[in-house]
Every structure is written in C-alpha cells, then in structure tokens.
Amino acid sequence: MLRVLGSPKRLCDGSSRRDFLLAGGLGTLGLTLPDFLRNQHARAASPAGAAGHDRHFGRAKSCILLFLYGSPSQIEFADQKPNAPEEVRGELGTIRSSLPGCDVCELLPHTSRVMHDVTVIRSMTHKHPIHGVAYATTGVQDIDVGMELSPQDARHWPFIGSVVSHLERRKNPVAAMKKAVPDNIALPWPFSSQRTGEVHRAGPYAAFLGGAYNPHFTTFRGTATGKMTKTLTETTKEFDEPYVGISPDSYFALGAEGVADLTLDRMNTRHSLADQFDSARRVRRGPAPSEPWDEYREMAYSLIGSEKLRHALDVRREPAKVRESYGHTLFGQGCLAARRLVEAGSRFATVFWDEYGLAGSGWDTHWDHYNRMRKELMPGFDRGFAGLISDLAQRGMLDDTLVVVLSEHGRTPKINKAKGGGRDHWAQAYTTLMAGGGVARGKVVGKTDSIGGTVADRPVSPKDALATIYHLLGYDLETTLTDRAGRPVSIAPGAQVVRDVLA
C-alpha cells in the first residue's frame, strides 16, 4: 500500500491509495491529493464544548503511549504477591522501589528508582481475555477474535492517536496541516508486520475517521545484536532479536525508502509527480477555475518530507550517554525517539513492543516465561521506561508530557505447565502505569486479591484510562465523532476520568 511518510493510507471502503495510483493516478479519478485532504477535513464535525474550569483539563501538552503487546504479568510487574503460593508468585523475587507500598520485580532495578514519579493502577479489568489491542486503545465497546484479526472489520473504532490527530486538525486545520512533525506517529514499524503469518492484527488504525488519520508508522533502520529462542506451540526457533539489543548506528525513519535519504532533487521530483496528477485531472475534467496554493496543497507536500521530523527520529544525534541511559534495545531507543518527537512538537507518539519473528511473541509468554522475562523482556523495558521518565524529568518536560504504559490484558495468576513455564491470558485484573502531564507522582490506585486474580478495590476499565488521557490532553469527553452510519458518537462512550490518578 502507498505510504506517505510511512503511513498506510486506506480509503473508507478498504481500498488502498496505492490501488488507485496503480490504476492510473489520482488524476484519472478527478481528484488531487489536496482535494482528498479537503474532503477529509469537510467530513469532520464540530467538537463539543470545553470541560469547564477543571484544573487538570489540558495539563498535558503531549502523550507518549508505551503499548506492551501480549501483556506483562501484573504479579511480575508492579503488583507483587510475595506471600502467595509458589505456583502464583513464581521464581522471581521482589525489590523495594522509591514509591512506598509498591515493590517491583527484581528484574526492574532502574524502574524501581523512578517509581516516585509514577502512578500505578493495579485494578484494571474487563471481560475480553484476547489480544484486543483495538479494544484497549479505542472507544469500541466490545471485541471478538474475528475483529482482533481483521483491521478492516467495519465494527472497529478509531485508535486514540488517530482521534487526537483528527481533533487537532478540526480545531485548527491550517496549523495542523503545516505542522512539520505529525501528531500521530507510531514506532518501530507498521503494527503486527514483523511476525509470521500474513494477517495483521487490528489496533492502531483510524477506522471510520478514514485512512488519512492512520498513524504515521516508522521503519527501523538498524541491526539486531542479540539472539532469542522463541516457542509457539510446537515451533521453537532462534532469532536475531532487536528487543535484546541493537547496533549503535540504529535509528528510525518514515517511509519505505527512508526519509533520511531524501535529497532536494528527489523532493522536487515528488512535487513534480503531484503536479502531474493535478494536470491529468485537469485534462480529464477540462479547463478548471484558478486554484490557489492553499493549506491543503501545502499539507500534501509537507507529508512527503520534513527535515525537522527526520532529525527527531534520528536518535544517533543524541549524546552517547543519553542513548545508553535508555538502553541499546529496540524498545529503549524507541522511547528515546518518542521523547524527541514530542519535544519537536508531536502531540501523540506511540511505541509498540510488538511481536517479532513468531506470532505469539512480545509479552505473550504462554511458553518459556521466566527465560524470556530475564533475557528479553524485563531488561529492555526496565532501561527504556526508566530512561524515559528520568530524561523527561531532567529536561523539565515531565510535568506536561503524559506517559502511559498500557497492555490489552494481564496474565493468569497461576503458572501453567508449558515448556519453561508460562502464564496465559487474564483480563480480570492487571496493571497500568501513568506518569507526568497532570498525573500524581507516587501513588497506587486500586488493589487486587491475595493472588492478583481479581480486583478488590476501585475497578478501572481500559476506556477509563483512555478517557483520562483525553481529559489531560484537553479534549472534552462529550466531543463527538461521526461514525460510518453518519451518527454522532462520543470519543469515550460510557467512560469516566480516573480522578484518583490526577495530581
């Protein structure tokens, strides 16, 4: 499919823009790229009113979402159960953190030192123990396996980053279209694209908002320096694993070709290509009235390349000491790139810890749980998350940058009998971390029972977490979008702000 700065652009009927280009260009359809952008803007409805005088409303200038696909175990994250039976507490020990009353896993020494800046929600809960990335990150009210494995399912709702991009463009179209760094960027590559199988999982897509609001996915430019053996049912295979380590010359870029390689001559060629589409359209339709150079054409060209954006994604520009503080792993350097993106003006950046190599990887530890936790998962998360929180605090950015660690569910309290041990899907109780951007520093919200299996106090749904993000970013929860049937729907239907987490 056609990627403009790495973003897959699909039209509402599911056809890709590349399909139209291959069929003869936008011009043969009587449309220019600026026309397409005008149409997208014209479809946007007016937002609802403001949220009154709430002092937390709009405290965050930007949000960094860290999504751990596959889902970590709440028990081996920040809801330790040292007195539980061995088949629950497992092999890993507990260490004190800088947040009183919140010990963490022994594999998180760096994270333990920044927990005083973090609010922990231990009482996340819902009814869908499947890989519902789309459920966790959108306003959709239900999900099933068919939806999970079909990004084009008409029942999906738009990803939170897509909603943010849409609302920003609706609020100030000219400013949004001239922005050098987009508001909805996702790292490290198009979601669910680096695992076995041709089917991509649903999740971070614009759904009924239209393909123009899909995230701008980056590509990873680098070399894995670590190895990891992974298991999926009867398959066991060793991979060069970027989540274990990457080379120092690694970085991120937008676009299949890599924007870092864009030259002025090539940029001029791309402008010429857009002009050729315009000419073809005029030939087909006949003489047209004069069309001024407007913000839509400006946006069409700005999407092709931005020096500021290229610089923000190029983590090689950071001092070696800073890069080292995040860890030389795919996740760690992704966190660093996300900080650089929001620093450069992006409103919403997402770092996915995605499947790599085998399906059922990421944090989906049905097999070989402890080996993968020790060698692959916890070290990379520990350095990346702690590095991000510390760096934002040192730069004076934590107060207005919201950081959220989210997953689609938790994992079973009891360890299964699979090879190497494992924990299976569990949505009845799990943990989310939030920091900065109007969130209280050093707080624990909610609690679970003695084995981390059910919520004992203050249940929080994924929709409530999304509502809290919207609120802190300054979007009234009564703001409406227009769904496929032309009906107004709120951005977080039925959800409530989790006021317990607010500063």
**For the chain, how many residues are written?**
503
Query: What's the pLDDT tens digit per position in 64-82?
Result: 999 999 999 999 999 999 9
β-sheet bridge partners, residue 502: 439
Question: How high is the pLDDT of residue 235?
Answer: 82
Structure tokens at 15: 């056809």
* Tokens 């020494």 belong to residue: 109
248 pLDDT tier (thresholds 50, 70, 90):
very high
Structure tokens at 167: 């609302």
Asked whether 479 and 57 are in contact (CB, 8 A), the reply is: no
User: Taking 50 as the threshold, does the pLDDT of residue 54 lie above it?
Assistant: yes
User: Taking 50 as the threshold, does the pLDDT of residue 367 lie above it?
Assistant: yes
Query: What's the pLDDT tens digit per position in 193-203?
Result: 998 877 789 99
User: Taking 80 as the threshold, does the pLDDT of residue 84 lie above it?
Assistant: yes
Question: How high is the pLDDT of residue 133?
Answer: 97
Question: How high is the pLDDT of residue 319?
Answer: 97
The percent of residues above 70 in pLDDT, for the chain, comes to 79
Helix (H, G, I), strand (E, B) or coil at 116: helix
Sign of CA dihedral 431, 433, 438, 443: positive
Domains of the chain, CATH where assigned: 44-52+61-262+305-501 (3.40.720)
What is the spatial distance between Cα 6 and Cα 179, in angstroms, rounded to a whole number?
A: 16
**pTM for this structure?**
0.83
Instruction: Give 12-37 as a DSSP string.
Output: TTS-BHHHHHHTT-GGGGT--HHHHH
Mean pLDDT (the chain) is 84
Question: How high is the pLDDT of residue 302?
Answer: 56
User: Taking 60 as the threshold, does the pLDDT of residue 281 lie above it?
Assistant: no
Which residues have a Cβ under 8 Å from the Cβ of 345 and sit 6 or more positions away?
A: 179, 180, 181, 308
Alpha-carbon dihedral 211, 212, 213, 219, rounded to 10 degrees: 90
User: Taking 50 as the threshold, does the pLDDT of residue 264 lie above it?
Assistant: no
51 pLDDT tier (thresholds 50, 70, 90):
low
Taking residue 431's Cβ as centre, other Cβ atoms within 10 Å add up to: 24
